[in-house]
């Protein structure tokens, strides 16, 4: 609500500041009158740090004006129109169109979260705005619900406040350790000061989508130190309300900016959801293939070879350089946390005691995946998903073909091979995975056993898949060290009753580290089938794709 009559004055001989309508860390926003053109406008009076020297203040003012003029060149229906940039009494002002309506934050506060369709609509409009800005070399750097306006008459989504009061290229953490910006919506690489690019704005959009769907940022904590720890280190748990567009949210909240979902693909997936009403699938063929850098181009899988542990790959110059980059990033993230905790009066050592900071940080741990044929793992309690037994049995012959080979209606996507198993089933597995039979269970493992796809067949059990999975969940702490966050969901696989089990655990050794498991169990043709995927918590995005492909292409011979 504006304050009429307070400090009414005219700036630049033209703009009369009529009422204050907003205040924030960047300054004050006024409803004003352009007396030359006779129209209502919004004027942002930018605040500056009074502790700066005259020369520092001059440089900051010049950089701010330069960036404001760059934003003024942008033309997009979802970007605020900047009419003018003026200086009055050595203070810069940004003159913008006046939007009749509140912010997205106001809407959430007054009416609560929005549904998935509205969130997708908002997301598409913001992606269009960001795409236009990024194409012109302009970064937003402070994308959050408070900086998104909703026009009252048209429900137009308008992105405002393009980090105008921040110095271009500045890091998020100042030299004193205090925080500049909105930490709940700031990407990990900006926290560390490693880089700031278009990908950082896309991370912020992912956090914003979680907020509009649930009413709260997934990184909200009670302190600055807690927020920084949540962004950089903690498992990322999108809210349950994000399930209809979960692939988009997970893709945007990918900690590694090089693997983050790009704007064009995110917009395509959201449009697919609006058009079909179904959860979009990240394609595994040509186009956006986020997992391909982690899937070695395969040698064919030969099941008649004796089961063996895959040797570690010899590091190449490229992988060595990548490891060096990750190492530097880990050091910088740790340093950023220490600086931020010191500024907030929080012990970084205490917060990091149970989590290592590595190159990518632990990736997003999924919230419940969609309960459909393509999601859902589960396994009988007698099995331990992802852990091969110590005594392998002789391997039956398995032929894995290239992705062009089909089995009935099933086809292996690009980058996968179709495994025809002598045990009476087939499924698509990533090229380069090795088949390792372990008694009644069959494993397909990536080099080093980082990713493990497991399959088990058995006679039907009393109570069906749901009872089996609930029993497995109950036994989880005894079968999987550090078992936590177990969830069992009743679902279907095709027309067959099924149950989905998902959980996180500590792995079978310290070296292996925390893992996440997806597990689907169902009955079909008088048999019970169980398919699961186990992977490090930092690689659940790839694991989810492998799991979806395995379940979707699974066929009984």
Could you write out the three-class secondary structure of 314-334?
CCCHHHHHHHHHHHHHHHHHH
pLDDT, residue 7, reads 54
pLDDT band at 300 (very low <50, low <70, confident <90, very high): very low
The alpha-helical segments, DSSP class H, found in 89-197 are 104-111, 116-135, 188-192
Query: Measured between alpha carbons, how far is 425 from 382 in angstroms, rounded to an integer?
Result: 21
CA distances from 125 to 37, 92, 223, 547 (A): 30, 29, 32, 31
pLDDT, residue 347, reads 33
**Rounded to the nearest 5°, which phi and psi values hold at 337?**
-65, -45
Query: Measured between alpha carbons, how far is 400 from 421 in angstroms, rounded to an integer?
Result: 9
Buried (b) or exposed (e) across 175-212, using 16+ Cβ within 10 A? eeeebbbbbbbbbbbbbbbbebebbbbbbbbbbbbbbb
pLDDT, residue 163, reads 61
Residue 106 known to be catalytic: no
Tally of CB atoms within 10 A around 57: 16
Q: What angle do CA 67, 71, 75 make, to 5 degrees?
A: 165
On whether the CB atoms of residues 258 and 215 are closer than 8 A, the answer is: no
pLDDT, residue 476, reads 87
pLDDT, residue 249, reads 95
pLDDT, residue 308, reads 35
Question: Which residues, listed in sequence order, are joined to residue 308 by a DSSP beta bridge?
Answer: none
Is 144 flagged in the annotation as binding? no
pTM: 0.54
Q: Is 500 helix (H, G, I), strand (E, B) or coil?
A: strand
pLDDT, residue 409, reads 45
Checking if the pLDDT of 284 tops 60, the result is no
Query: Measured between alpha carbons, how far is 131 from 117 in angstroms, rounded to an integer?
Result: 21
Query: Measured between alpha carbons, how far is 449 from 434 in angstroms, rounded to an integer?
Result: 9
Which domains does the chain carry? Answer: 3-97 (3.30.200.20), 104-285 (1.10.510.10), 399-556 (3.40.1000.10)
Region 107-124: mean pLDDT is 96
Residue bearing the bigger pLDDT, 163 or 274 = 274
pLDDT, residue 190, reads 86
On whether the CB atoms of residues 372 and 547 are closer than 8 A, the answer is: no
pLDDT, residue 148, reads 95
What is the torsion angle, in degrees rounded to the nearest 10, for the CA atoms of residue 218, residue 245, residue 247 and residue 361?
Answer: -10
Residue bearing the bigger pLDDT, 453 or 382 = 453
Query: Measured between alpha carbons, how far is 491 from 495 in angstroms, rounded to an integer?
Result: 10
pLDDT, residue 42, reads 92
* Catalytic hit among 18, 88, 111, 142: 142
pLDDT, residue 455, reads 94
The alpha carbons of the chain give a radius of gyration, in whole angstroms, of 27
Query: Measured between alpha carbons, how far is 469 from 503 in angstroms, rounded to an integer?
Result: 12
CA distances from 39 to 36, 42, 83, 95, 96 (A): 8, 10, 12, 12, 11
On whether the CB atoms of residues 301 and 400 are closer than 8 A, the answer is: yes
Query: Measured between alpha carbons, how far is 535 from 505 in angstroms, rounded to an integer?
Result: 10
Q: Which of 25, 17, 28, 19 is nearest to 1 (CA)?
A: 19
pLDDT band at 206 (very low <50, low <70, confident <90, very high): very high
Lowest-pLDDT choice from 208-212, 215-219, 344-348, 406-410: 344-348
Query: Measured between alpha carbons, how far is 42 from 38 in angstroms, rounded to an integer?
Result: 13
CA distances from 249 to 113, 192, 260, 480, 557 (A): 16, 22, 10, 28, 36
Residue bearing the bigger pLDDT, 14 or 234 = 14
Region 103-113: mean pLDDT is 94
Sequence-ordered list of residues with C-beta below 8 angstroms from that of 464, at least 6 positions apart, any chain? 497, 499, 523
Sequence-ordered list of residues with C-beta below 8 angstroms from that of 40, at least 6 positions apart, any chain? 31, 32, 33, 34, 98
Helices (H) and strands (E) in the chain, counts: 12, 21
Sequence-ordered list of residues with C-beta below 8 angstroms from that of 371, at least 6 positions apart, any chain? 489, 490, 491, 500
Checking if the pLDDT of 316 tops 70, the result is no
Please provide the distance, in angstroms rounded to a whole number, between the alpha carbons at the two ends of the chain.
68
Question: Which residues, listed in sequence order, are joined to residue 218 by a DSSP beta bridge?
Answer: none
pLDDT band at 423 (very low <50, low <70, confident <90, very high): confident
Checking if the pLDDT of 321 tops 70, the result is no
């Amino acid at each position: 609500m504006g304050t009429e009559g307070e400090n009414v004055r005219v700036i630049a001989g033209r703009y009369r500041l009529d009422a204050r309508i907003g205040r924030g860390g960047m300054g004050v926003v006024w409803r004003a009158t352009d007396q030359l053109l006779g129209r209502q406008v919004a004027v942002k009076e930018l605040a500056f740090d009074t502790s700066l020297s005259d020369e520092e203040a001059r440089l900051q003012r010049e950089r701010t004006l330069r960036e404001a003029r760059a934003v003024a060149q942008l033309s997009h229906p979802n970007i605020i129109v900047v009419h003018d940039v003026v200086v009055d009494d050595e203070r810069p002002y940004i003159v913008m169109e006046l939007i009749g309506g509140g912010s997205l934050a106001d809407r959430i506060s007054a009416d609560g979260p929005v549904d998935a369709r509205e969130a997708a609509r908002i997301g598409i409009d913001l992606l269009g705005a960001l795409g236009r800005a990024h194409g012109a070399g302009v970064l937003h750097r402070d994308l959050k619900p408070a900086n998104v306006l909703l026009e009252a008459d048209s429900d137009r989504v308008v992105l405002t406040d393009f980090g105008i009061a921040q110095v271009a290229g500045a890091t998020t953490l100042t030299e004193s350790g205090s925080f500049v910006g909105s930490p709940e919506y700031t990407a990990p690489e900006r926290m560390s000061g490693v880089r700031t690019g278009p990908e950082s704005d896309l991370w912020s959009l992912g956090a914003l989508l979680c907020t509009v769907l649930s009413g709260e940022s997934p990184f909200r904590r009670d302190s600055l130190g807690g927020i920084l720890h949540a962004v950089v280190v903690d498992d990322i748990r999108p809210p349950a309300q994000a399930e209809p567009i979960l692939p988009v949210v997970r893709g945007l909240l990918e900690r590694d900016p090089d693997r983050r979902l790009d704007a064009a693909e995110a917009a395509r997936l959201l449009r697919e959801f609006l058009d079909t009403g179904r959860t979009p699938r990240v394609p595994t063929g040509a186009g956006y293939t986020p997992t391909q850098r982690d899937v070695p181009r395969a040698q064919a899988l030969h099941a008649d070879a004796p089961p063996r542990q895959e040797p570690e790959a010899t590091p190449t110059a490229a992988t060595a350089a990548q490891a060096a980059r990750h190492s530097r990033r880990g050091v910088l993230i740790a340093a950023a946390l220490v600086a931020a905790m010191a500024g907030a009066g929080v012990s970084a050592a205490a917060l990091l005691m149970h989590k290592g900071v590595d190159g990518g940080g632990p990736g997003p741990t999924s919230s419940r995946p969609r309960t459909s044929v393509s999601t859902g793992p589960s396994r009988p309690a007698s099995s331990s998903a992802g852990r091969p037994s110590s005594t392998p049995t002789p391997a039956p012959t398995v032929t894995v073909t290239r992705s062009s080979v089909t089995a009935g209606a099933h086809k292996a996507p690009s980058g996968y091979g179709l495994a025809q198993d002598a045990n009476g089933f087939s499924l698509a597995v990533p090229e380069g995975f090795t088949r390792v039979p372990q008694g009644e269970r069959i494993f397909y493992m990536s080099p080093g056993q980082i990713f493990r796809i497991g399959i088990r067949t058995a006679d039907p059990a009393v109570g069906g898949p749901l009872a089996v999975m609930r029993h497995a969940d109950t036994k989880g702490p005894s079968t999987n060290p550090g078992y936590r966050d177990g969830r069992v969901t009743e679902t279907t696989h095709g027309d067959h009753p099924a149950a989905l089990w998902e959980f996180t655990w500590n792995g079978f050794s310290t070296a292996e580290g925390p893992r996440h498991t997806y597990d689907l169990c169902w009955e079909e043709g008088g048999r019970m089938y169980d398919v699961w995927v186990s992977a490090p918590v930092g690689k659940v995005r790839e694991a989810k794709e492998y799991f979806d492909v395995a379940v979707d292409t699974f066929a009984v011979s």
